[in-house]
Amino acid sequence: MKTFKGIGVQLVLSFVVAICVSIILVSLGSLNKTRTAINGNTKVTSGQTLEAAQEGFTTYLKTLSQPVDLLTRKNEIKHLEDRGDIDTNVTAIKDSLVASVKVTNGAELAFFTTKTGLRVDGWTEINPDTGKTSNKGGLTRDVNDTNQSWYKACIGSKARNSIYSVFSDPYKDSKSGKTIFTVSQEIKYSDNSNYGAVGLNIDFSEVEDYVRTIPDFPEKGIMFRDVTSVMQDPEGLQLAINGLNDLVKDVDYDVVVGPESRGFIFGTPIAYVNHKAFVPVRKKGKLPCETVEATYDLEYGTATIEMHKDAIKPGQKVVIVDDLIATGGTTEAIIKLVEELGGKVVKVIFLMELAGLEGRKKLAGYDVDSVIIYPGK
């Protein structure tokens, strides 16, 4: 298998983090059927999945980079402040930005920002009544983008694999609430010093089309997405943790609770970096001391989870972390355990959400958030 290097790693593995989250929506049949499927011709490894996606990712990276690179070459952008009629320049720049949005799948907004505080944005809006698209945008003064991570990252960045732009980690857009990432590229003065940057904000959900999902594995009706390829790569794992941690940065809490087993993987780092306690939730019979338990329904039968009786103190504020919300049954049971011990659930976060399974309905009344919301099942 090829090894991903350079600028492609961040976005490729971000894609895989967000979409290839492990969902073995386990076994709609017996264990024997599952074993048969695994041993049969449908067997596909996570490595094969990631490798098969590489060519599509590389193409997509270049597709996103090209319009940004073209914007850096526009005369009206390069000379915004050294030409007499700044308003005329702004109009021309906005038109170029809007054009970039129109030709780029998933683009939410294009922008040009200078280190002197000028910023021009361009985007499109669809009138819900008429269905017509209109061009939006304009100039804003006294904007300081130089402290933004995407701005800092593109300064002095060199081309890698014919890709000149820099791709940010995914983050939550404060205006739209969507998870996006920014593709940015530096603009320089004639003396090679920094003048500003141009970029595109891309809706992160668009990357779903570039991830291979394995249908009918390990058994018919199951859509398989694998998280092990993310955990095996240091950059991919870091991106996953960063995306989750961003969801709790403004939350006041005392304890992180994570279920066996991927809740351990993603919950413990969140607790560590924020200096919080971590409490594991395990399958029945796995914890050594006195426990409380909750039973919930599965597709076939039931499952029971446990938590140590002294794990949560009355009044403690709790964040629940897991990799995936599907039907919401496991998380609902965890909430019952926390509340039985006197804790208060203040936030529930997931790396990925299968919105088609409507798991949020079971968690109504709680603050639920996901890094990526996948519309299907």
| Active-site residue list | 262, 299
**Cα-atom radius of gyration of the chain, to the nearest Å?**
23
Distant-in-sequence, close-in-space partners of 126: CB < 8 Å, separation ≥ 6? 132, 133, 134
Q: Where are the alpha helices (DSSP H) in 73-177?
A: 75-78, 86-103, 149-154
Angle at 245 between CA 377 and CA 293, to 5 degrees: 65
Say which amino acid occupies 301: G
- CB count in 10 Å sphere of residue 279: 24
- CA distances (Å), 141 to each of 71, 90, 325, in order? 20, 12, 42
For residue 313, give the DSSP letter. Answer: -
142, 42 Cβ separation under 8 angstroms: no
Q: Which two tokens stand for residue 120?
A: 């021009």
For 38-72, b/e burial (b = at least 16 CB within 10 A) is eeeebeeebeebbbebeebbbebbbebbbbbbebb
| Torsion angle of the four alpha carbons 364, 368, 373, 374, in this order, in degrees rounded to the nearest 10 | -40
